Amino acid sequence: MSDLRVRFAPSPTGYLHVGGARTALFNWLLARKQGGTFILRIEDTDVERSTRESVDAILQGMEWLGLDWDEGPFYQSDSFPLYREYVQRLLAEGKAYRCYCSAAELEARRELAMREGRKPKYDGTCRDRSDHPDAPSVVRFRTPQGGEVAFNDLIKGRIAFPAEELDDLIIQRTDGTPTYNFCVVIDDATMKITTVIRGDDHVNNTPRQIQLYQALGFPVPEFAHVPMILGSDKARLSKRHGATSVMAYRDMGFLPEALINYLVRLGWSHGDDEIFSREEMIQRFDIGSVGRSAGVFNPDKLLWLNAHYIKAGDPERLADLLMPHLTRRGVVISNGPVLATVVKTLQERAQTLEEMAERALFYYQAPQGYDETALAKFDGDHLAKVFQVVAEKLSTTQAGTATEFDAIFKDICAENAWKMPQVGQPLRIALSGGTQAPGIGEIVETLGREESVRRIRVLSNVIAGV
């Protein structure tokens, strides 16, 4: 066990999105590689926007992805007394002060600063006030003046900010609630976080937080800011680019290992390798190998990975994952073949579990209609003959495997001078309703000889007008 302590700290104001999931993944991988500790913290100090539903969605997303945490989940809302204690400490030490400026006064000063070409930051009006009027006040951090605030980002390299660019940060609002930057510092310090891996939209928060660490006498952790994820139009990934929720990808039929594999490659690389098992990711991951430029989300690449994992997946596990997709379609599994057997016939060609569910329907629901365009390619007398011969053969054979059934169909073709498509396509339509289905032998083995013969005779009767 190493001293490394990392955390993932989402705000419960919505679902777990793919950008947050990637940040969680990078933290988790580093902890698992170095034998460190991965902590989950829910930053729910925004009481108005934080919901239990969002918390549950985040936890569900983490669990589905297999990103297990070692400590937590901790909730910031449980730490309000701790935050107030540290605010009072800074006030007592003269490192913070009360500010009585009204919102209207602050806005007027900002507008004046902008007209005069100055940075619209707080001008320190209350910095050295000695009176304490009976009026609403916020608490501001007395930002150290002069010099620069610099840190070595594990991804971006050295980053420095002139101290004069930083104004006196509000650390407690007029209602007594603490602000984001202050809570993060207290939490990370008291949880002994050694490395902060987060999105690069937090880069500008880092110098302020470093000053707070130093003012409170806490060790400053290392920082690694992960570039954002963009859509294909190079704009920040959003709903207009498609699903951004982790659980939406589950509902669309993606496997967690496919999404994890895709996210780890979205900004990090290991040579030209594209496919990584979870163990390989842990073994090879290096935060220093994360790129500095934004990653572009490519749905086609994710589909390709998902198809790979479906093709290579365990049929029993895939069957369990497929169940909800079939249930939504009203399928009752007990009315048909063993689901894992069905999966084996479909996993070679399916890109998602949703697609597999659609293709699996005919196994549990006999065709209510047929591909008329495909049927029209064959003469009616030919169809009648094919269905008669095949039904008779299947009714009397002792064959039971796809290989044995395919051999029978080859014999039928040879005996009647037919080519395989002249038998295969009509049978596929009779058994599934269309032409996009697994091999005929596979279908017959999975449906069973009795059900296969029944379906063949149903279509034969339809064509005969019976």
List of long-range contacts for 424-429, beta carbons under 8 Å, 24+ apart: 425/374, 425/377, 425/378, 426/375, 426/378, 426/382, 426/383, 426/386, 426/387, 427/386, 427/390, 427/456, 429/370, 429/371, 429/374, 429/375, 429/459
Tokens matching residue 81:
């007394």
Q: What is the H or E stretch that residue 353 is in?
A: helix 353-364
Output DSSP code: residue 352.
S
- Give first-to-last CA distance, the chain, whole Å: 75
- Choose the catalytic residue: 192, 239, 311, 410: 239
Partner residues linked to 226 by β-bridges:
199
What contacts 98, CB < 8 A, 6 or more positions away? 91, 126, 129, 132, 137, 138, 139, 140
Distance CA 375, CA 430 (A): 10
**Single-letter residue type at 89:** R
Distance CA 126, CA 142 (A): 10
Query: CB-based burial of residue 180 (10 Å sphere; 0-12 exposed, 13-18 middle, 19+ buried)?
Result: middle
Helix ranges (DSSP H) in 397-419? 402-416
- The candidate with the shortest Cα–Cα distance to 141, out of 170, 162, 106, is 170
Query: Which position has the token pair 């806490």?
Result: 218
Distances (CA, A) of 100 to 91, 128, 173, 176: 15, 12, 11, 14
Tokens matching residue 367:
């065709």
Tokens matching residue 235:
């704009």
List of long-range contacts for 147-151, beta carbons under 8 Å, 24+ apart: 149/207, 149/210, 149/211, 151/206, 151/207, 151/210, 151/220, 151/223
Tokens matching residue 265:
């490659």
**Single-letter residue type at 345:** T
Task: Give the Cβ contact number of residue 33 at 10 Å.
Answer: 17
Residue 121 appears among annotated catalytic residues = no
Active site residues: 239
